[in-house]
Amino acid sequence: MSKVVLFDSSLRDGAQAEGITFSVEDKIKILRSLDALGIDYVEAGNPTSNPKDLEFFERACGLRLEHAKLVAFGSTCHKESAPQEDTYVNALLAAQTPAVAIFGKSWDFHVTDIIRTSLDENLRMIRETVQYVVSRNREVIFDAEHFFDGYKKNPEYAVQTLVAAQEGGASCLVLCDTNGGTMPHEVRQIVLAVKERFPGTSIGIHCHNDCGLAVGNSLEAVLAGADHVQGTFLGFGERCGNASLCTVLGDLQLKMGYSCIPQEKMVELTQTARYIAEVANITLAEKEPFVGRSSFSHKGGMHIDGVNKNPKSFEHISPEAVGNSRRFLMSEVAGRSYLLNKLQKLMPGLTKESEETRRMMDRLKELEHDGYQFEGAESSFELLVRKELGRYRPFFEIEDFKVIGEAGNGDSSFSAYAMVKVRVDDQVKITAAEGDGPVNALDKALRESLEGFFPALRSIYLTDYKVRILDTREATAAIVRVLIETTDGREKWSTIGVSTDIIGASLKALVDSLEVKLIKDVEQHVTF
């Protein structure tokens, strides 16, 4: 298999994304995870841009990386100055990384109108900066900024910037679609032309996603002869982001026959993606190719039936190949086959034609028509199944509840109070609690009233709370769907509540979450 080098810029270009902020420790963690996966180069920032990046490079020098080369990023020397005397160029060397990414202008418009120098002076800046850094025993990767825009306007000059970098000793010439506006056919044509002009030279591609084409353009470049692809691991970056290196990796190695990382590392792709998302404090898109939670999820009955018979009927690869897993989603369109699988766990003798199966399907359709959506709340669905099949015994009953909210005079603060009356067998307990809001107060009051009966509930807490208004045309009378995620530190489960009242919907979801915990403990023989 042909080798394609992967160059990750999550810690530099990715850090320029809106909402992304990395601490030094965050950057160390991501660097280690990319190295463990087998990424070839990790561009970690500009040591001249801020004190945080400077501290990172100081710490990173002491790290032992198994595979990745650490890269510092910066520009050519300034106009009318020598690189040996340029503070910023020397700061790149002071970072002590084995490789340095130097960017220079390839679009004549940027040369004359943005940095305001002559075309010849720009070529000198590129050549001498690369030459100087190479002379200090650093590998230099040249990023030809705005190359595609420059090539379309003045191809001769754009190529001259590559010649200058090559003369300086650059190991790789990277063609950058900096504005993200180049079309796939243009990428292929231009990369082919550059490869013909520079035979035997490593050509790279750096794409932005402003037209939603960053991954596709990167693949086109490889097909045209590029052997070096830059991106950010999950695609976050300036404006609309960069090419998602995670997706590029999956496409190149699993679909197109190229070698990017050691084959045995592919099973770590999902874990790495989710870890980086966690460190970056972002939510990994559920539909992220290869690694998203929905990547191998099936909802339609025909799809579920097909996958059960042969997974390749509706899956382009095995989810295990990238460390992901298959999911079947419960809904009114899931079909009796999947529903039956759920029902048989509680009542093994049931068939598709059983009265219980038919009744459960009708009930499911009825509830989803009312606003329930069980594909994201499978625990609530399992409770529903238990109730419909007569395999449910309530642990407690809420006999009454009240919620009061008030704001002080002239004060922006808001307090909420909740009272809950619960019955456990023949015992009744009334509990009141104060919270940051009505739902928080209700949650506290409910837990406090039950923890004396069920001490195991002290270990659980909410990890997510989502509210959706189902029909905004109904204004304040609209149906509300509440989805919550709960954990006891070992497992996570999701439950749902639907009502015209947000408090009522929240209470239904909260009650389901507590009952799920109690059922789990009973089935695992945990004593209360």
Q: What's the chain's average pLDDT?
A: 90
Residues 254 and 333 in one domain: no
Cβ-based burial of 54 (10 A; exposed 0-12, middle 13-18, buried ≥19): middle
Q: With a cut of 50, say whether residue 9 has pLDDT above it.
A: yes
CATH of the domain at 444: 3.30.160
Residues 42 and 176 in one domain: yes
Q: Is 257 helix (H, G, I), strand (E, B) or coil?
A: coil
Residues 88 and 111 in one domain: yes
Residue 305 has a CB neighbour count (10 Å cut-off) of: 17
Does any domain span residue 84?
A: yes
Q: What are phi and psi of 246, to 5 degrees?
A: -60, -45
- Encoded tokens for 177: 């679609």
Residues 185 and 307 in one domain: no
Instruction: Report which of residues 492 and 134 the model is more confident about.
Output: 134
pLDDT value of position 217: 98
Q: What is the mean pLDDT of residues 80-92?
A: 95
Structural domain boundaries, residue 354? 297-388
Instruction: Report which of residues 477 and 514 the model is more confident about.
Output: 514
CATH of the domain at 105: 3.20.20.70
pLDDT value of position 528: 45
Q: How many domains does the chain have?
A: 3
Residues 384 and 436 in one domain: no
- Encoded tokens for 3: 């080798």
Does any domain span residue 283?
A: no
Q: Per-residue pLDDT tens for 361-416?
A: 777 778 777 777 776 677 888 888 888 888 888 899 999 999 987 766 555 667 78
Domain's final residue, options 388, 421, 437: 388
Confirm if 407 and 414 have CB atoms less than 8 A apart: yes
Does any domain span residue 471?
A: no
Does any domain span residue 126?
A: yes
pLDDT value of position 160: 98
Q: What is the mean pLDDT of residues 145-172?
A: 98
Residues 373 and 406 in one domain: no
Residues 114 and 219 in one domain: yes
CA–CA separation, 128 vs 170, rounded Å? 11
DSSP element (H, E) containing 344: helix 336-344
Residues 232 and 315 in one domain: no
Does any domain span residue 292?
A: no
Residues 174 and 221 in one domain: yes
Residues 256 and 319 in one domain: no
Domain's final residue, options 370, 388, 406: 388
pLDDT value of position 331: 55
> Going by C-beta distance under 8 Å and a sequence separation of 6 or more, which residues neighbour residue 76?
83, 89, 102, 103, 104, 125, 126, 129, 130
CA–CA separation, 423 vs 456, rounded Å? 18
Helix ranges restricted to H, 264-319? 269-280, 301-309
pLDDT value of position 410: 56
Q: Is 347 helix (H, G, I), strand (E, B) or coil?
A: coil
Domain's final residue, options 450, 468, 485: 450
Does any domain span residue 514?
A: no
Nearest to 34 by CA among 298, 336, 301, 261: 261
CA–CA separation, 229 vs 498, rounded Å? 47
Does any domain span residue 419?
A: yes
Residues 22 and 89 in one domain: yes
Does any domain span residue 276?
A: no
Residues 30 and 122 in one domain: yes
